[in-house]
Chain A
Amino acid sequence: MELYVVLKVIWAVLLGVLFCGLAVMVGMDMGVGTLLNFVGKNDKERRVALNIIGPHWDGNQVWFILGGGAIFAAFPTLYATSFSVFYVVMILLLFSMIMRPVAFEYRSKAAGSWRGIWDIGFLISGAVPMIVYGAAFGNVMEGVGYHYSWTGQYFQDESFLSYLLNPFAVMCGVLALSMSIAQGGTMLMLRGEEPIYGRARKAALGGSIVAIILFAVGGLWVSHLNGFAFTAPVDPNMPATPLTGQTVAVQAGAWMNNYHTYPLLWALPILGFVGMLGNLLMNAAGKPVVAWWSGALAWIGVIFTTGASMFPFLMPSSTNPNQSLTVWNATGSAYNLGWMLFFALVFTPAIIAYTSWCYYVMRGKVKLSSITDDSHSY
């Protein structure tokens, strides 16, 4: 295999890893935000809940920013097209996301109705991004209406309502939300005490159950969904342009082709179910540490299940399938992918090391007394 193809495949896998990091770390914080008004019945309890992720939310959020930057660099045409065709929801996502850092920093710096306003902000900035995140995957699987002009400029062929009100995408959105609630609830159990612990447990159990059901429903749905498949051989080493080189057809059930060809891939959905079940059972048993890692595995299972089913498609076009964005035609140049890989290899271990150190330093249960003593608490 040529070096360029190897780099393309590596970056497709890294894209999956990035989505997993984003889902696990940001999803957890989003879950805490969504649950804030439920697990905290009064201001003090809410402050405890917020301070559980207080020292970490900012670092976690970088997964989201890195997601934007890495897609920009490694998949420039995908970045250019996807963010523009989903403009309305992308802007809604941004509006809800930018509320969050501000809510964290400002909520506890004044009293009274001020805090109530930011609590609503936490609910919006927790739930909306997760629904959009899941729904984006759903919409991409169904195909998006766009085509390119000769310069590489995209043009949208469908109204924004078609992706906003797409039932399959909405289901994927709720799946993502329920998984984030399970993960956020687990984190609150991990570092919270009663009564937050009990309420978070209830929410986490509910989240896992809904996630298991929706993941199963989603699997059945996808097997009947219109998928995309190459009808002529493609050169994976092709120059990265969507304008030429691919012939693609829309076929019902095509998203199952990879699973038929490589039955080993069934391990991925199984991993997803095992993770969700593990999260459910361990939380029921009162073992949030194991449950947290199970929840992380569940995300890995779900995201790579989707990726394996679509590979090598990244964002197929429903109106001009030949111009679908794939791993072969949407990446950066070999030189760029090489340099990016170098930086990823150098910095990812460093990031994991100091993030772990940060969690280690801040370990232990968060108590009300420690919050009122610390002037920097949220």
Chain B
Amino acid sequence: MPLIDPSVVDLSRLQFALTALYHFLFVPLTLGMTFLLCAMETTYVITGKEIYKEMTHFWGKLFGINFAIGVATGLTMEFEFGTNWSMYSHFVGDVFGTPLAIEGLMAFFMESTFIGLMFFGWDRLSRPGHLAVTYLTALGSNLSALWILVANGFMQNPQGASFDADTMRMQFNSFVSLVFSEDAQAKFVHTSIAGFVTGALFVMGISAFYILRKQHMALAARSFRVAALFGIISSLAVVTLGDALGRLDYLVQPTKIAAIEGLWEDSNAHGSATSAPWLLFALPNDATQTNAAEIGVPYVLTPLITHSMDTPIPGLLSLEQQAGPRILNGIKAINALQQYGVTHDAASLATFKQYENDMGYGFLAQKNAPNQDLTQITPANQDAIVAQTEKDTIPNVFVTFWAFRIMMFLGFYFVALFAFAAYYSLRNELEKHPLLLKAALWSIPLPILACEFGWITAEAGRQPWSVYGWLPTFQAASSHPVGYMVFSLIGFAALYSAFIAAELYLMFKFARLGPQDHHAEPTVGGGATMFGKPQLADKSWQ
């Protein structure tokens, strides 16, 4: 059997990370903007005031620019499991593919069909009819987040499936465990509401821009109010759910939570767990397995993570050591499984069953075995291989630690920003606080950044696993030659760069242009070029 080429695995990871992070630049805005449009249109239907229709129209236009790339880059994600993670798709497709298929049936059709009506149906539908369409679009886009996070929940904490030796894969056995997995639940709410924060800050920031320039005041002040209230509740909810997720990681992914907190030694290594510090700042060094320049707040870590005062949290060093026996068992499991594949005899199946729960650790050792072959492990080289594999059982601490911290600091910043924004908007004193308005404007990209770092925390923190405890990432990739990966990476880089340039050009253009004129038709005699300023009837943006 040909060897797994580590550089192909790394390139596959790079491509998946880049395409997923890129896709995720647009998704949070879609999740939030759809419900903001619902809020605005609800007001329109209740009050009957045209300004709210204009608001829905205008923000809908900016939403549409964003939605298109979200859909386009989502196509890549749906197919990339098959094109680049063939072993993964084979291994868990029976359980992981199902939420993706349901996502298509339940969510994508709903969102994509109704968004056409939402944009084009204004004159063809009654007011409540159109409002219902807008709500269905919002529900559809958030349902798609639900199902993809149900799938992701399985990667983080696999439940609802068990390994089957005859088909060499995880087989689905409990729909309820899969869908109501605590990880899936908390992560869906966290992600969806993080999208709400992103949408709220987007609307609030652009409104602040108009208020600063005293343009489109009727629309801007109302949009600011709606977004500020939408944002303050959402940003508080995101923090709450973040805490729930942290506790969940503590229960089911000990290596992730230890990496997030930069915890090399057990939390009670220096006295009691109660006084263990929560690190505000540190420079984790993965090579020496220590932290430099620690700044900690004592008495915070234990209650924060464990929701108790004195439960010790295991550190990464002891987690590595605990993996040792599991690696030895895993090697036995994989060898028995390979034997069973040839002979289908009851004895090897029984041996496999005995060590089945550790089989993932056997796969993990394969990377370090001679010729990636576990049968070539002898008592002579065994200790060295196990020691090497132990080091592979934890994620990159520097990345996980800082990705989490950036996300979290930004989360608290949003709470503060929205609190001030909501307060001054409710008092109608926004114009007296230009600094707040400027902060809102310049903070527009920050929630997107926080979402990206959230994704990195969740997925980099899950390493070295594709499916936590069962399938290492190293085993999951397709067996492509390096040339294929270079070809696709260059293509994605070129296309995606062109798209983001076009998106930003249009976003800035229409945001500056403001709500009056939605047409891009050039005036008579003057066609604008791609890079020139379009000539428009409304010059208010200049």
Contact = CB atoms under 8 A, between A and B. Distances in A.
Contacts of B505: 110
Given A153-B479, A375-B518, A376-B60, A351 B72 contact: no
Interface stretch (A189-197, A271-279, A341-349): A341-349
Nearest to B480: A87
Contacts of B85: 80
A95 B491 contact: yes
Contact of A339 (B57, B67, B91, B172): B172
Contacts of B75: 64-65, 94, 97-98
Given A94-B76, A343-B101, A241 B168 contact: yes
B90 A80 contact: yes
B529 interface: yes
A374 interface: yes
Contact of A152 (B57, B83, B90, B528): B90
B65 A56 contact: no
B525 interface: no
A43 to B, nearest CB: 9
Given A58-B116, A361-B124, A102 B69 contact: yes
A185 B332 CA distance: 62
B116 A98 contact: no
Contact of A151 (B84, B166, B168): B168
B57 A375 contact: yes
Interface string A291-327: 0000000000000000000000000000000000000
A335 B78 contact: no
Interface stretch (A66-74, A169-177, A226-234, A259-267): A66-74
B91, B98, B478 interface centre (most CB from chain A within 10 Å): B98
B530 A335 contact: no
B516 to A, nearest CB: 10
Contacts of A335: 171-173
A376 B65 contact: no
- The interface size bin for chain B is 35 or more
Given A72-B93, A77-B90, A102 B502 contact: yes
Contacts of A348: 105
A98 B76 contact: yes
Nearest to A151: B168
A111 B113 contact: no
Interface string B96-134: 111011111110111011111101111111000000000
Interface string B499-515: 10011011001100000
A333 B92 CA distance: 11
A44 to B, nearest CB: 10
Interface string A137-170: 0000000000001111111100010000000000
Interface stretch (A29-37, A112-120, A202-210): A112-120
A155 B94 contact: no
Contacts of A77: 90, 93
B97 A72 contact: yes
A51 B51 CA distance: 27
B74 interface: yes
Contacts of B171: 333, 335-336
A152 B95 contact: no
Contacts of A94: 75-76, 79, 83
Given A100-B72, A376-B120, A69 B104 contact: yes
B112 A62 contact: yes
Contacts of B65: 105-106, 109
Interface string A231-250: 00000000111011000000
Nearest to B144: A65
Contacts of A91: 83, 487-488, 491
A73 B169 CA distance: 13
Q: Which 8 A-B pairs have the closest CB atoms?
A: A76-B93, A83-B82, A375-B518, A73-B97, A105-B68, A72-B97, A66-B104, A55-B116
Given A66-B101, A66-B105, A244-B344, 9 more contacts: A55-B116, A72-B96, A77-B93, A87-B484, A90-B83, A102-B499, A109-B65, A241-B166, A333-B94
